[in-house]
Amino acid sequence: MYLTRLFLDDPPQREWPFTLPPVAQLAADGLELPRPVTFLVGENGSGKSTLVEAVADLCGISSEGGKAGTRYSSTGARTPLGQALRGEFTSAGLKLLTGPRSRRAGFFLRAETLFNLAQNVSGRYGFWDADLTEQSHGEGLMTVLDAMVTRPGLYLMDEPEAALSFTSCLNLIAQMDRLARAGAQIICATHSPVLTALPGAQILELGEHGIRPSSWEELPLTDHFRRYLTKPDLYLRRILNN
């Protein structure tokens, strides 16, 4: 484990994203991270990506995605939440922040900006050799995972399933499990009921209620996918007739 608790240091009260219910709860209560893998789930706009980006800022990883200790942003500016976010780190986590940059085992896989990042770092020492423009979106993402998410470290992910097939999602689950057993920590924002089924993971549901722990079986995400795959017409007749 690298990061065991998150909390905020005197955040603004009336500015976004501090008005989001999950962020307001984080400010009031803090957030414990007791397990090697944590999934953040919720509707679009609930604050999942915002929180993961802030954790990246806190841990010296570019909130635009990339490797620990290296900035790729033209400004290097931290996100508003990242400026206020604080954390409690283990000894391994402190080394992630203060150790030699070449040895910092941390990476933020941000699907939205992955290929912009690849234009800057593909082929460079410490990254991957393949040209992602010659691969499909999903193949490129797995290339990055296989190169950068391989040893104990802190790994942040934002909707990695966006480019992955069902089989590739299963492969990612296996990779997450191997890393967690080896001492890594993963924080992943996702809409995937496939990924969130990883045994032993902490699942946090973000929404108007704030942040609450959940189980895979209790997630509305799981229920909706199960119902849709069983009888899609129950959903489709509502939206296609409007």
DSSP helix/strand/coil, 146: helix
* Model confidence at 153: pLDDT above 50: yes
Q: What is the average per-residue pLDDT within 117-131? A: 60
Could you tell me if 106 and 153 are in contact, meaning their C-beta atoms sit under 8 angstroms apart?
yes
pLDDT-derived band at 126, boundaries 50, 70, 90? low
CA–CA dist 162, 195 (Å, integer): 12
3-240 CATH fold: Rossmann fold (3.40.50)
Instruction: Quick: pLDDT tens for 215-226.
Output: 999 999 999 999
